[in-house]
Amino acid sequence: MDNEKKHARASWSGKWAFVLAGAGSAVGLGNMWRFPYLDAKYGGGTFLLVYLICVFTLGISLLLQDIALGRNAKKSVVGVFSRYGKKYSIIGIIAAAVPFIILPYYNIIGGWVAKYTAAYISAGPAALADGGNFFVGFIGGGLESYLWMILFAGIVMAVIFMGVKGGIERINLILMPLLILMAIGIAIFTMTIPGALDGVKYFFTPDFSKMSPELILAAIGQCFFSLSIAMAIMVTYGSYVKDEESLTGSTAQIVGFDLLVSVLAGLMIVPGAFAALGSAEAVAAKSGPGLMFITLPQVFEHMGGAAQVVGFLFFLLALFAAITSAISIAEACVSIVADGMKCSRKKAGVIISVYTLLMGCLINAGYNVLSFIQPLGEGSSLLDLADFLSNTVMMPVVCILTCLFVGFVMKPKTLVDEIRKSSEFKLAGAWTVMVKFVAPICVLVVLVAYIAMQFGLISF
Ligand code: PHE
């Protein structure tokens, strides 16, 4: 409380509050559908192995960097960079733009998840497993999809208005443990379906003939998205951490949570897919939202009597994960506006609510009234564009610029000292090499390769 008054800035009430909120941000739709889909597509155990290596090298180092930057500055992302001179504020501005682009479309997908959760009860599992007509009818059909988006965004903003301690902390404290318990339950159930054990084997056994540059790029991209790195979000959450809380310990715990949920989601979906469709590739053949909203209901339908319960619980789980992630994105936006306009959280919350509603409606219109706009080629949507811009282009750019800023302007020692305020940091040397050289080079390679792939200049 003292801290809050002195700095007029909120703070977490303790270490667990921060770890749960950080895990709540990290654990999201990225774990629930993106990870299992990529794993199925890129050879199961092979992808898992490369992903683990990425997480324990790049992922953990960059997450620690984001959190330490936030706590060191006790400011939202713009202030973190502008403290070192006006010319660096551009990094903060690009970083700040990322959550503003993600928030509206994350709310739209959150609305889809909410709709499916409800539809498992009202329409039943068979209606959802009709090969895509239900999904296309829903997103293309007009009013209803807007209402679900507004409902989802409403829940998220309500938590934000309740504040950091009263809202964000409390909801994470309830939803995160529930999420883990449900995930363990569903994973155990799907692994025991006849035919599923082949999927479990596929999930864990590396097959080095499946290794490819594309697989490595996918693993690095997934690691960043899943840990909410370079999106101004962990910087914001880090700025609420008190000086006496250990940053290394919290970072490791957030990474652990995130990894656990990804592995559980993989164990829920990959073995189920094997049992239902005979191979994981059959599931991976459909990428993006299609996997979660079209193929998965078909997988559940194969579970017979259990389809309704498993389908409902799976989407409820995804809904919890999506809510806690969306809260973190909205909180980053609120904190940027409150700091930038020197206004109260409340006022910033109102501004963000209006913004997300207007932008959300615009992007959602890309599936119905504005569906003639196909910015990334045949069949693409405004949502695809927002996703491509934020995740594929801006996030790597922010990551590279942040690393170079820390490495050569701020100097890693500043953050090493910050981290050492509250814990030992034996790996400071390795971490410095990571953020100064390894990470920016790796991310640059990923960025160039992704863009070249998008425009058809290279293919693997
Ligand atoms: N990390 C979240 C996930 O895995 C997604 C996310 C992206 C959260 C951006 C916050 C910001 O789904």
Region 304-314: mean pLDDT is 89
pLDDT band for 378, please (50, 70, 90 cuts): confident
Q: What is the 373 CA–ligand 1 centroid distance (Å)?
A: 26
Per-residue pLDDT for 371 more than 70? yes
- The number of the ligand 1 atom at minimal distance from the alpha carbon of 228 is 1
**Closest-CA residue to 353 (of 174, 170, 149, 175):** 149
pLDDT band for 280, please (50, 70, 90 cuts): low
Question: What percent of the chain has a predicted confidence (pLDDT) above 90?
Answer: 53
Phi and psi based region of residue 38 (left: phi greater than 0; alpha: psi -120 to 50; beta: remaining)? alpha
Q: What are phi and psi of 105, to 5 degrees?
A: -80, -25
**Using CA positions, which residue lies closest to atom 11 of ligand 1?**
228
**Closest-CA residue to 264 (of 43, 36, 53):** 36
Instruction: Quote the pLDDT of residue 393.
Output: 80
Q: What are phi and psi of 300, to 5 degrees?
A: -65, -40
Amino acid at 312: F
Q: What is the 231 CA–ligand 1 centroid distance (Å)?
A: 9
Per-residue pLDDT for 289 more than 70? no
CA distances from 308 to 88, 126, 299, 301, 312 (A): 53, 9, 12, 8, 6
Question: What percent of the chain has a predicted confidence (pLDDT) above 70?
Answer: 95
Question: Per residue in 418-432, pLDDT tens?
Answer: 999 999 999 999 999
Q: What are phi and psi of 33, to 5 degrees?
A: -120, -30
Question: Per residue in 140-165, pLDDT tens?
Answer: 887 999 999 999 999 999 999 998 88
3-state secondary structure of 411: coil
Q: Is the CB of 226 under 6 A from ligand 1?
A: yes
Question: Per residue in 214-223, pLDDT tens?
Answer: 888 889 889 9
Q: Is the CB of 171 under 6 A from ligand 1?
A: no
Of 37-46, 71-80, 193-202, 283-292, the one with minimum mean pLDDT is 283-292
Instruction: Quote the pLDDT of residue 1.
Output: 39
Region 324-348: mean pLDDT is 92
Of 11-15, 62-66, 288-292, 345-349, the one with minimum mean pLDDT is 288-292
Instruction: Quote the pLDDT of residue 5.
Output: 41
Q: What is the 333 CA–ligand 1 centroid distance (Å)?
A: 14
Question: Per residue in 26-81, pLDDT tens?
Answer: 999 999 878 988 888 888 999 999 999 999 999 999 999 999 999 999 988 888 99
Q: What is the 195 CA–ligand 1 centroid distance (Å)?
A: 32
What count of other Cβ atoms lies within 10 Å of the Cβ of residue 245?
20
Q: Is the CB of 236 under 6 A from ligand 1?
A: no
Phi and psi based region of residue 271 (left: phi greater than 0; alpha: psi -120 to 50; beta: remaining)? alpha
Instruction: Quote the pLDDT of residue 281.
Output: 66
Region 391-410: mean pLDDT is 90
Q: What is the 243 CA–ligand 1 centroid distance (Å)?
A: 26
- The answer to whether 413 touches 72, Cβ cutoff 8 Å, is no
- The answer to whether 164 touches 11, Cβ cutoff 8 Å, is yes
Q: What is the 324 CA–ligand 1 centroid distance (Å)?
A: 9
User: Cα 389 vs. chain centroid, distance in angstroms?
Assistant: 15
Instruction: Quote the pLDDT of residue 8.
Output: 57
Q: Is the CB of 26 under 6 A from ligand 1?
A: yes
What mean pLDDT value characterizes the chain? 88
Task: Please spell the DSSP secondary structure of 228-266, one letter per residue.
Answer: TTTSSHHHHHHHTS-TTS-HHHHHHHHHHHHHHHHHHHH
- The number of the ligand 1 atom at minimal distance from the alpha carbon of 258 is 4
**Using CA positions, which residue lies closest to atom 7 of ligand 1?**
228
pLDDT band for 23, please (50, 70, 90 cuts): very high
